[in-house]
């Protein structure tokens, strides 16, 4: 992920997951790993800089944005990889573990789901522009997959936190939706602004 200007070197366009089979495998994977590292680092920083707190607890932030950008720029498999790495970093810097399965459902698995966005082809048919409707559905699918895992974790492991008389499913859905929905909307808005520069750069053609 290039956040600073640098000389552009023409490279072949890669489809989702094709980086493993690229003829330039000596160069592309190194670059990919570097971009994932930068994305995970930025996501970690963004997690510590929430935009605002929700009444039900939980924070609205842009932590998903770099992982989603990796997925849309490189494809599904790299996106899944970036999400898993970020999930484990979250486990290290902000751990709350009561059960091994809960650990998986609250850290690597939900963030891995963000990589699903990379399995969507978001270019228009001419290949020279972005189809932002497809970007929307890519984020919606990836975000919903993460949301489902968090909701299940909440029902299974944190149902006792629900107010007396409230359905545990309703509690988990409201709790997780209260910060995930605004976060996804903000990520989409920012991606509309920046995505074209990252996906249609000459060095990715």
Question: pLDDT tens-digit profile of 137-173?
Answer: 999 999 999 999 999 999 999 988 888 888 999 999 9
Over residues 65-79, the pLDDT tens digits come to: 999 999 999 999 999
Q: CATH code at 92?
A: 1.10.1760.20
Residue 5 in any domain: the answer is no
Residue 196 in any domain: the answer is yes
Q: How much is the pLDDT for 73?
A: 92
Residue 72 in any domain: the answer is yes
| 24-37 mean pLDDT | 78
Please choose, from the candidates 11, 16, 4, 7, the residue with its C-alpha nearest in 3D space to the C-alpha of residue 122.
16
Residue 37 in any domain: the answer is yes
The whole-model pTM stands at: 0.82
Residue 183 in any domain: the answer is yes
Domain that holds residue 40: 18-204
Report the number of distinct structural domains present in the chain.
1
Residue 11 in any domain: the answer is no
Residue 95 in any domain: the answer is yes
Residue 151 in any domain: the answer is yes
CA dist 191 to 31, 51, 146, Å? 21, 17, 19
């Amino acid at each position: 992920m290039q956040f600073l200007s640098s000389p552009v070197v023409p490279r072949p366009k890669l489809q989702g997951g094709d980086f493993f089979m690229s003829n330039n495998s000596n160069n592309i994977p190194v670059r990919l790993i570097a971009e994932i590292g930068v994305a995970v680092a930025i996501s970690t920083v963004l997690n510590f800089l929430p935009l605002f707190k929700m009444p039900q607890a939980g924070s609205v932030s842009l932590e998903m944005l770099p992982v989603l950008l990796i997925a849309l720029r490189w494809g599904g498999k790299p996106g899944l990889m970036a999400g898993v790495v970020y999930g484990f970093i979250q486990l290290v810097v902000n751990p709350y573990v009561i059960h091994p399965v809960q650990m998986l459902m609250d850290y690597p698995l939900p963030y891995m789901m963000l990589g699903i966005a990379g399995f969507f082809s978001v270019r228009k048919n001419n290949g020279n522009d972005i189809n932002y409707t497809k970007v929307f559905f890519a984020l919606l699918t990836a975000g919903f997959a993460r949301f489902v895992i968090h909701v299940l974790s909440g029902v299974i492991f944190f149902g006792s936190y629900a107010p007396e008389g409230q359905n545990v499913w309703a509690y988990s859905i409201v709790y997780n939706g209260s910060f995930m929905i605004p976060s996804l909307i903000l990520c989409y808005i920012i991606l509309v602004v920046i995505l074209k520069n990252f996906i249609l750069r000459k060095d990715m053609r």
